[in-house]
């Protein structure tokens, strides 16, 4: 009788271990891989024109999807296509291709090219935290309250009433500086042009913000730091 009970107990333990391993493996499979160099794609010179030839006849609602589908046919890696699709979903329809990567750890930096835009064709993303992709050109995420309370910005606004912060048109060579904060997290310092009314209007300075992540990589928000002229 005792032998039967022991066997039953060991059997229960085995089943429990099996279930735990199954759950752990399933969770690991669901976790997306880190975005890295393998997601970078150097766009061929004829890619955009060739993609337009294929996709211009598509219904407007399907054009962007068709455009992204052409990436794999033109030699982009699965990781590159996956990044573009993830950014497309997160930005609600903006097609961006990862064309540069700078490993910092645990949060990394990516340079994105937006081939379908008329202006501001390059931007920055902060990668592999939570969320996995944070678009550093999403002006809604900037600390506008801190900017507007700044005496520097107030004085500039008196001189140029239409001045405001605009997305940066990044060159893919100058990466943001990063530093650890007091809580073990990470901060990135990024500048944004202050432009007087339109994309082609006068550049009146640069607003500088920090992009802040905690020790576990969770995005905490931005903070206005100051301005340069």
- Residues with Cβ < 8 Å from 112, sequence gap 6 or more? 87, 96, 97, 98, 99, 122, 123, 124, 125
Task: Provide φ and ψ at 192, rounded to 5°.
Answer: -135, 135
Q: What was the pLDDT predicted at 119? A: 83
Cβ 54 vs Cβ 66: under 8 Å: yes
The token pair at 183 is 């809580």
Buried b (16+ CB within 10 A) or exposed e, 5-38: eeeeeeeeeeeeeeeeeeeeeeeeeeeeeebbeb
Sheet containing 108-113: give its strands across: 97-102, 108-113, 122-127, 133-135
State the residue for tokens 């976790």. Answer: 31
Residue among 115, 137, 145, 151 nearest 190 (CA): 137
Calpha distance 8→40 (Å, rounded): 54
Q: What is the structure's pLDDT at 31? A: 66
Read off the pLDDT of residues 134-177 as tens digits, 9 standing for 90 and up.
999 999 999 999 999 999 999 999 999 999 999 987 877 789 99
* 70 within 8 A of 52, measured Cβ to Cβ: no
Report the 10 Å Cβ neighbour count for 111. Answer: 22
Cβ(114)–Cβ(95) below 8 Å: yes
CA-CA distance, 176 to 22, in Å (whole number)? 41
Instruction: Calculate the CA 69 to chain-centre distance.
Output: 20
pLDDT at site 10: 46
Distance, CA of 54 to CA of 44 (rounded, Å): 16
- Those residues of the chain that have pLDDT short of 70 are 1-31
pTM for the whole structure: 0.84
State residue 182's pLDDT score.
82
pLDDT in tens, 199-220: 889 899 999 999 999 999 999 9
């Amino acid at each position: 009788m005792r032998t039967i009970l022991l066997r039953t107990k060991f059997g229960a333990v085995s089943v429990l271990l099996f279930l735990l391993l199954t759950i752990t493996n399933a969770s690991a499979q669901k976790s997306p891989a880190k975005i890295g160099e393998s997601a970078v794609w150097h766009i061929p010179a004829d890619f955009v024109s060739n993609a337009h030839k294929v996709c211009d006849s598509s219904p407007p609602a399907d054009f962007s999807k068709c455009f992204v589908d052409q990436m794999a046919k033109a030699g982009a890696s699965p990781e590159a296509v996956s990044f573009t699709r993830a950014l497309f979903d997160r930005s609600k329809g903006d097609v961006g291709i990862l064309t540069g990567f700078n490993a910092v750890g645990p949060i990394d930096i990516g340079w994105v090219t937006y081939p379908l835009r008329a202006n501001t064709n390059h931007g920055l993303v902060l990668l592999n935290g939570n969320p996995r992709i944070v678009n550093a050109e999403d002006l809604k995420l900037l600390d506008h309250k801190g900017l507007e309370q700044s005496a520097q910005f107030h004085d500039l606004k008196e001189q140029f009433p239409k001045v405001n912060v605009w997305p940066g048109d990044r060159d893919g060579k100058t990466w943001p500086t990063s530093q650890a904060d007091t809580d073990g997290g990470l901060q990135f310092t990024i500048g944004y042009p202050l432009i007087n009314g339109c994309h082609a209007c006068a550049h009146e300075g640069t607003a500088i913000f920090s992009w802040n992540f905690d020790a576990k990589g969770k995005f905490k928000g931005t903070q206005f730091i100051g301005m340069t002229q």
